Structure 1
Amino acid sequence: MSMSQSQRTAFEAIGGFTVSQSTQLLSGLVLAVALVFAGWAILSGYRGWAAGHLSQGRFFSLFIKVALIYILLTALVLH
């Protein structure tokens, strides 16, 4: 549902920024949080692999899953 022109004007007057700027901010925050999570997951997997608790195949599987999730999230958020 899109905003009417009077709603956009009120939003910009009260917020001090445009609707597209707030959308970009929210998209950026979502992708930044997802990137931090991806880094944490891969680092934890690496530590498990280095300690011998995780096989190389499972670590590779974890890496591929995290990368695919991030790629799909990026495509969905930026589309």
Structure 2
Amino acid sequence: MSMSPAQKTAFEAMGGFTPADSTLLLSGLVLAVALVFAGWAILNGYRGWAAGHLSQGRFFSLMLKVALIYILLTFLVLR
């Protein structure tokens, strides 16, 4: 649902930025949080693999899952 011109004008007057700018900010924050989570998951997986608690195949599976989730989230957020 798109905003009417009067709504856009009111939004810009009160917020000081356009609705597109707020969408861009929210999308960036979501992807930044997802990237931090991906880094945390891969780092913990690496620590488990280096300590011998995780096999190489499971570590590769973890990296693949994290990458696919991030790619899917990027596609859904930026679409």
Which category of TM-score, normalised to the shorter sequence, fits these structures?
A: over 0.9
| Aligned match of 1:5 | 5
CA distance in 2, matches of 1:45, 1:2: 43
Superimposed CA distance per residue, residues 42-79 of structure 1 (whole angstroms, 9 cap, x where no aligned partner):
00000000000000000000000000000011111111
CA distance in 2, matches of 1:6, 1:33: 34
Shift of 1:14: 0.3
Shift of 1:20: 0.5
Matching residue's letter, 1:71:
I
Percent sequence identity is 84
Instruction: Provide TM-score, normalisation by structure 2.
Output: 0.98
| Aligned match of 1:19 | 19
Instruction: Provide TM-score, normalisation by structure 1.
Output: 0.98
CA distance in 2, matches of 1:40, 1:54: 16
Computed over aligned residues only, the root mean square deviation of the Cα atoms, in angstroms, reads: 0.5
Q: Secondary structure in 2 aligned to 1:7? A: helix
Q: How does 1:28-47 map to 2 (within 5 A)?
A: 28-47=28-47
Unaligned runs of 5+ in 2: none
CA distance in 1, matches of 2:38, 2:18: 30
Q: Secondary structure in 2 aligned to 1:17? A: coil
Unaligned runs of 5+ in 1: none
- Count, aligned residues: 79
